[in-house]
Amino acid sequence: MGGSVVDDPELSTHLVSDSIKRTAKTLMCISCCKHIVTSRWLLDSQKVGHFINEEAYIVKDVEAEREWKFNLKESLRLADNQLFTGFRFFVLEGSVPPKEFLANLIRVNNGTLLTRSPTKFTSDIIVLAGEKDKRSISVYQENGAIIHSGDFVLLSILQQKMPPSQC
């Protein structure tokens, strides 16, 4: 049929999955791929000998979409890899998910990952923290930092908007 399997979500045009999970690969594909389809799409395409229109095969995971308040079809339509344009992120040690997980998600959505704590906090800087960071959060807040949990990045990608959720 002419397709190939790649490991890098940034090189993918399709993700084949029968449900939505908040894995790095799925989140990257929401930002990079045009289609997230069920395995049935591959099977039906194989039957006719060519790739068929994906519209009827978009993954519909009612439970995940309800829990995380998003619509996959709409998120794929809105995705343009520009979600975090103009924003810089500083990830604290206790962030969940950790910095390593968040780094590529921020980058692929055109955000900047800061490697050192800013000395001045402006509205374009978002600090990502977790429960283990409770002691240091107050210092950041006193200096005007916007604090969110690491979930902020995941929900933003799923919803293709930046929700106002505090840490």
Digit-coded pLDDT (tens) for 45-79: 999 999 999 999 999 999 999 999 999 999 999 99
CATH of 88-159, one of 3.40.50.10190, 3.50.30.40, 2.40.50.140, 3.30.930.10: 3.40.50.10190
* pTM attached to this predicted model: 0.92
Angle at 134 between CA 94 and CA 96, to 5 degrees: 25
> pLDDT tens digit string along 27-40?
999 999 999 999 99
CA distance 67 to 69: 6
| pLDDT score of 164 | 66
The answer regarding whether domain 9-78 maps to CATH 3.40.50.10190 reads yes
| Helix, strand, coil tally for the chain in percent (to 5) | 40, 15, 45
From residue 98, alpha-carbon distances to 28, 124, 157 in Å are 16, 21, 16
Alpha-carbon distances of 130 from 28, 29, 143, 149, rounded to whole Å: 22, 25, 18, 6
CA neighbor of 97 nearest in space, from 130, 126, 67, 69: 130
Q: Please, what are the averages of pLDDT over each run of 10 residues along the chain (167 residues)?
A: 89 96 95 95 96 97 97 96 96 95 96 95 95 92 93 96 64
Domain limits, the chain: 9-78, 88-159
- 144 phi-psi bin (left φ>0, alpha ψ -120 to 50, beta other): left
Q: Matching CATH topology for 9-78 and 88-159?
A: yes
CA 60 to chain CA centroid, Å, is 17
